[in-house]
Chain A
Amino acid sequence: VADQTYPVPVIRRLRVYAFDPQSSTSIASAGFNVATIQLPWEQWNEAALEPGPINEYLEIIDVDPVSGQFYEPVDLNHPSVLARDGLDPSEGDPRFHQQMVFAVAMKTIRSFERALGRRVFWSGRWDQKKRKYISVSRLRVYPHGLREANAYYSRDKKALLFGYFPSATKDSSASWVFTALSHDIIAHETTHAILDGLHRRYAEATSVDSLAFHEAFSDIVALLSHFTLGEALQAHIQREGGNLEVRGLMSGLARQFGNARGMKGPLREAINSRLDEDETNITLLASTTKPHDRGAILVAAIFDAFLTIYKQRTADLMRIGNVGVNAADRRDLSPDLATRLAREAAKSADHVLRMCIRALDYLPPVDVRFGEFLRAIITADTDLIPNDPYHYRLAIIEAFRRRGILPEGTLSLAPDSLCWEPPESDLALDAKLEPLDLDWHPAREKAEDIAEINRALMHRWLIEDEDQESDSDWQKACGVVFRDDLLPPEWNTELKSVLRWPPDPLNPGTRSRAKVEVHSVRTTRRTGPDGQELYQLIVEVTQRRRGFLSAERQRAAEVANQADREDFLFRGGATLIFDLRRKKLKYAIRKSIASSARLEEQRMFLEANPQFRLRSHYDDDSLGSVAMDEPFAFAHRGY
């Protein structure tokens, strides 16, 4: 690379197991179980890829504390590695494990960046001494960090830890199972980390939905990335005659892992046998209360929408190819047709994945619900792609409706009534925000610094600056409390205690202000299929309020402004989306801090699920002093 006389390559190709090592040992899938991931080569302004691998996003550290090993890092720039698209897939070489974790995690990161139209950042790490968030530029990845059937994103250490374990069953066809060799597990855990970087409050358990969302979204990303695995996809389509509605490699998640645990199949399955074609069960969501089961419903809904879209997109091809509905007719699919169908399937999956990822910007900053995810998908998609010839949006709505995932307070399920409403008052960015740096910065580190500067500027402008007439409207849009003089009378008694900054006794003019957190200030630039461009600024504003398990204690503590220790944290706030061309507030997606109905819901949720307010078994320390000072200190166990 140092030799400037050669042009720099565009693509780095790395081989990985398409699913996991197990598929290589079965004859049916051995032919396509190696996939090649293509990652963009490092740009001129990006740091070079170092052995590890280590790049601007990730730092793969292959320490294995239990075995007392620190494995040799893989050098992806070594000619012997470069010349063969990365090391050959191998369970027995830790360097291949490093390569695979790196490749799949980077692929996941890139698909987020493509859909979001900006860089992916990790969530900051709270520094107890400095009492602020320190930005984390590289997520650490430990391919052999644990010796157990587990893998997780540690919010505390800002790291992905992958475990390996001796297999308990013959079904897994290996004596050791490495979670770092499972495409699905890598994609799933990476998504946890990305999602945490976007919405740091989503790791807090405020309702069954909020808990399930992190899991479900990570599964959706892992599942839809199956369709980027060309060879496997085509083989599947050929075998099933273009029908994707059969359970198999494509619809199952973490198959080897599931087998190793004696599940005789994948860990999770997206095609839900309980809900077949004709049956609609609009009470399904309402009757499911376990977070994992609810998450599975969301995954199934997205997969269902994907299947509908795929069928829409391929209906003509099926007719041209004269493919009947009977299984027998479907067997001898022409390879050309299979190729075309695979392309359509990949495209459909990519579109659905992008719709889901884009929706993340249109979600409230706290306490997310499935119904809101539906509204976010529809709004984000309508904004970017007004014309919807294949009826993607209807496919999504229909899939959600069939499972009873309905947003609260919408008139109907027509796409236009599902879109977020515009704000009540006309609010605009003003000249004081001129210093906001809204340029696209390809260098990640620079983009990170600028995001922090923008955040501070936004905070000052929105909260701290001298009082203005429009402040009351802004406060309303944000769903939080700014100052004592802005409290509407009906909030006055209850929310007085949110005001944390006491007025200065020496300076009677000063106002008592509330603590407001402004985070995730980010711009996006997205281009739709017909050349439409969206240029938006997104700001998350949140505030916290003490929550008590009994309404009486809540009242006593808040109205009488007692210094009681809270039982849980109740958060409110809004995601503000600005149209940067018109400098206007376009949406304020709000969860009001004053909502007593939501407070009561969270109370009931925590009443029924005490483990989510307790740090561990005997110990409700999450409510203790550590949590009071620093909510992050106890939230780290969330995922």
Chain B
Amino acid sequence: MTSLAPIDAVTIRMYRGILGDCFLLRIRQGDAEQTMLIDCGVLQNVEDGHTMLEKLPADVVKAVGRTKLEAVEAGKLRIRAIADDIFSTLKGSDGKAKIDVLVVTHEHFDHISGFALARDIWESTDLTVGKLWMAWTENERDEDAISLRAHLGNAKNAVVRAAMAAEVLGAAGQSDELDALLSLSNFLGPIVVDGMALDADPAPKLAFDAPGEADALTRLQTNALALDGGAQGPKRLTTAETMVMLKNKAGIENIRYCEPGEVIPPSDEFPLKTYVLGPPRSVDRIKKDSPSAGARSEVYMTENSQILAVEATARRMLQRADQQLGAAAVSGNAVVTAVRPFAAPHARPYVYGQYGGLAEDKETAARAEVRRRYESDDRLRIDAEWLAGAEALALKLDSDTNNTSLVLAFELPGDNGSILLFPGDAQVGNWLSWGDQKYPTSAPAGDTASIVQQESIEDILKRVVFYKVGHHSSHNATAKERGLELMTSGNLVAANPLVEAVAQVQGPGKKAAGRGWKMPYDHLYERLKEATDNRIVQGDGNPTTERQAFEARDDSPALTYAPDNLWVELTFKC
């Protein structure tokens, strides 16, 4: 098998029925085949449709559609079936399977949880990974990456801790902020793996020794492990641990940390010319997402102090949960005693409705009067406002992590140089950064004059014929002027890894119809339909309609569905 053999066809398989990314690329060269897997994940806590139907209010069910909900398969089972399918698809006659290149775009649950939830398959010796491609942000020996990851790691801990605190304090279901926070923390993990005891199956450590690497990793793992449910609970594999597990699988010599602006020529490693568009090196770009307009993100907010504050609040809340529930069952030993701002003489403990832990005759009349005013109207109380800070941080963190997405563009052989674009979940800053650099190109044979020819991002985007829709078609992960509008090949098709019914019941959508995540975002989707002539495959799409749209044009890639609709394949002939 060699890359120099002519390429006959490229097949992109999108796994369906998940709110999450899992794409298998196969490049056929005669009898041989090269394979690439891009991500394997599903959103956390997606239950099967029937369970959801029992829990959701009637108007939500009605708005989303009963049949649509019923069709949803539990995330854990579905992703397991997908992992099985990947293995059996790639399995040779010797019973062994090989992924030539594994691409992990970014450390979000809906992109990597499959590796943890079907850990036995990925860690099995019957499956080998040739190369692992990750973004430079995952490189533990890169100074910028270390500080960026430490920062994001701190934020993540604070958010996960806050979500835990809120959950155990029973604030769930009482505030929109909390619902939003919990649904966001679903991107972050930790991943609960049933039936795995902590002792029996320790968290993965890097198997190889690399200078500088150990420190950074230990820190990340310590951060992550501090959040564990304790020895009694089920083993939770954090997303960071999942990344480590994959690095171990590939082996250090086989990891490629991709740099923006890099062009990877066709080789034995991978037979398609690959442009690395993102993530940007500039931290400003990474931090550029659409800022939340909330009251809580107001002028005074800043990141480090925000992280510290959420962390301190969450610790304090966990401590209170311990007191309420007895023992350190909730927070574990990792929680240090949170301090109070005022000295003991000023302490006046307060629990809602109970004279604040003071005996009735100990409370002054003045305090009782102020307290009566406070408790007179439940709508005006502020007990859950602390969550808003955590929510704002969670939103920011979520966007920042999306912006660390590895963005790859693969060039198909042939005169047109058609491009397959996989942007991960890149948000605004990442998209905008693609134009910050030029992309070197080899001169055509015989042309000695233009050795240093450079391509601009416009040159690349205008050749895009396949677009993996960013972030399940949310509003802020497909740039308009600097993105979609530049994809002018006239022969664009798109794949959107989305199950609408699941998106619609996330966050506040759990309780109120029409308040879940807006995926797809209508304005984007309208434009995308125009640009593709309706040729979009979606994770929960209707195969008949999708097929019709593709067949309406004879320049469409061929469409194939699995018999059980587990996946859909687009085949580009070369």
- Known A69-B340, A164-B341, A617-B292; contact A150-B301, beta-carbon cutoff 8 A: yes
In contact, A637 and B348 (Cβ under 8 angstroms): no
Residues of B within 8 A of A66 (CB): 313, 316-317, 386
> For window 429-469 of chain A, which residues contact chain B by CB distance below 8 Å?
none
Residues of A within 8 A of B369 (CB): 50-51
* A258→B386 CA distance, assembly (Å): 22
A535 close to chain B: CB less than 8 A:
no
In contact, B516 and A619 (Cβ under 8 angstroms): yes
B306 close to chain A: CB less than 8 A:
yes
Residues of B within 8 A of A164 (CB): 341
Residues of A within 8 A of B507 (CB): 618-619
A558 close to chain B: CB less than 8 A:
no
A207 to chain B: closest CB distance in Å?
14
A395 to chain B: closest CB distance in Å?
28
B284 to chain A: closest CB distance in Å?
13
- Known A152-B296, A154-B295; contact A61-B370, beta-carbon cutoff 8 A: yes
A257 to chain B: closest CB distance in Å?
7
Residues of A within 8 A of B382 (CB): 63, 65, 142, 145, 157, 159, 161
How many residues of A sit at the interface, in one of the four size bands?
A: 35 or more
In contact, B348 and A71 (Cβ under 8 angstroms): yes
> For window 506-540 of chain B, which residues contact chain A by CB distance below 8 Å?
506-509, 514-519, 521, 523
A476 close to chain B: CB less than 8 A:
no
> For window 123-180 of chain A, which residues contact chain B by CB distance below 8 Å?
140, 142, 144-155, 157-159, 161, 163-166, 168, 176, 178-179
Residues of B within 8 A of A624 (CB): 514-515
- Known A150-B301, A158-B380, A620-B475; contact A549-B523, beta-carbon cutoff 8 A: yes
B208 close to chain A: CB less than 8 A:
no
Cβ 8 A contact of B294, one of A158, A260, A637: A637
B154 to chain A: closest CB distance in Å?
12
A156 to chain B: closest CB distance in Å?
8
Q: For residue B514, which residue of chain A has the nearest CB?
A: A624
In contact, A165 and B309 (Cβ under 8 angstroms): yes
A384 close to chain B: CB less than 8 A:
no
In contact, B313 and A147 (Cβ under 8 angstroms): yes
B80 close to chain A: CB less than 8 A:
no
Write the A40-73 contact mask toward B (1 if CB under 8 angstroms, else 0): 0000000000111010000111111111111111
In contact, B295 and A267 (Cβ under 8 angstroms): no
Residues of A within 8 A of B313 (CB): 66, 147-148
Residues of A within 8 A of B180 (CB): 616-617, 619
B553 to chain A: closest CB distance in Å?
25
A621 close to chain B: CB less than 8 A:
yes
Cβ 8 A contact of B302, one of A153, A261, A616, A637: A261
- Known A617-B292, A618-B507; contact A261-B386, beta-carbon cutoff 8 A: no
- Known A61-B373, A168-B308, A625-B514; contact A92-B386, beta-carbon cutoff 8 A: no
Residues of B within 8 A of A70 (CB): 348-350, 356, 367, 370-371, 374
Write the B360-385 contact mask toward A (1 if CB under 8 angstroms, else 0): 00001011011101100001101111
- Known A65-B386, A150-B300; contact A59-B373, beta-carbon cutoff 8 A: yes
A639 close to chain B: CB less than 8 A:
yes
A19 close to chain B: CB less than 8 A:
no
> For window 235-293 of chain A, which residues contact chain B by CB distance below 8 Å?
254, 257, 260-262, 267, 292
Residues of B within 8 A of A145 (CB): 382, 385
In contact, B316 and A67 (Cβ under 8 angstroms): yes
A419 to chain B: closest CB distance in Å?
33
* A185→B298 CA distance, assembly (Å): 12
Q: For residue B340, which residue of chain A has the nearest CB?
A: A67
A75 close to chain B: CB less than 8 A:
yes
A197 close to chain B: CB less than 8 A:
no
In contact, A68 and B351 (Cβ under 8 angstroms): yes
A636 close to chain B: CB less than 8 A:
yes
B37 close to chain A: CB less than 8 A:
no
Residues of B within 8 A of A155 (CB): 295
In contact, B508 and A619 (Cβ under 8 angstroms): yes
A638 close to chain B: CB less than 8 A:
yes
In contact, A621 and B515 (Cβ under 8 angstroms): yes
Residues of A within 8 A of B380 (CB): 140, 157-159
Residues of B within 8 A of A65 (CB): 382-386
* A162→B516 CA distance, assembly (Å): 30
A93 close to chain B: CB less than 8 A:
yes
Write the A604-620 contact mask toward B (1 if CB under 8 angstroms, else 0): 00000111101011111
B89 close to chain A: CB less than 8 A:
no
In contact, B302 and A620 (Cβ under 8 angstroms): no
A94 close to chain B: CB less than 8 A:
yes
- Known A51-B366, A617-B399, A619-B518; contact A63-B300, beta-carbon cutoff 8 A: no
> For window 85-126 of chain A, which residues contact chain B by CB distance below 8 Å?
92-95
* A144→B350 CA distance, assembly (Å): 13
Cβ 8 A contact of B320, one of A68, A150, A185, A610: A68
Cβ 8 A contact of A639, one of B295, B301, B474: B295
A341 close to chain B: CB less than 8 A:
no
> For window 11-29 of chain B, which residues contact chain A by CB distance below 8 Å?
none
* A345→B476 CA distance, assembly (Å): 49
Cβ 8 A contact of A163, one of B309, B317, B384: B309
- Known A66-B317, A621-B514; contact A215-B299, beta-carbon cutoff 8 A: yes
* A69→B312 CA distance, assembly (Å): 16
Residues of A within 8 A of B305 (CB): 148-149, 165, 168, 260-262
Residues of A within 8 A of B395 (CB): 616-617
* A270→B224 CA distance, assembly (Å): 43
Residues of A within 8 A of B340 (CB): 67, 69
B290 to chain A: closest CB distance in Å?
4
* A10→B367 CA distance, assembly (Å): 28
* A155→B293 CA distance, assembly (Å): 14
Write the B381-402 contact mask toward A (1 if CB under 8 angstroms, else 0): 0111110010000010011000
- Known A157-B380, A261-B302; contact A73-B517, beta-carbon cutoff 8 A: no
A18 close to chain B: CB less than 8 A:
no
In contact, A149 and B370 (Cβ under 8 angstroms): no
In contact, B364 and A146 (Cβ under 8 angstroms): no
* A54→B367 CA distance, assembly (Å): 12
Residues of A within 8 A of B523 (CB): 549
Q: For residue B303, which residue of chain A has the nearest CB?
A: A261
Write the B312-348 contact mask toward A (1 if CB under 8 angstroms, else 0): 1100110010000000000000000000111100111
Residues of A within 8 A of B373 (CB): 54, 59, 61
* A151→B380 CA distance, assembly (Å): 17
Write the A410-428 contact mask toward B (1 if CB under 8 angstroms, else 0): 0000000000000000000
| A-B contact list, 28 entries, CB within 8 Å | A54-B370, A66-B313, A67-B340, A69-B342, A69-B349, A142-B382, A147-B313, A148-B389, A152-B298, A153-B295, A158-B380, A163-B309, A165-B305, A168-B308, A178-B341, A185-B300, A260-B305, A262-B305, A267-B299, A549-B523, A616-B292, A617-B292, A618-B474, A618-B518, A619-B516, A621-B508, A621-B515, A621-B518
5 more CB-based (< 8 A) A-B contacts, given A60-B370, A614-B293: A61-B370, A144-B341, A149-B302, A254-B300, A610-B475
Which A-B residue pairs are the 10 nearest by beta carbons?
A: A148-B309, A70-B350, A51-B366, A618-B517, A149-B305, A148-B389, A611-B290, A165-B309, A147-B313, A611-B293
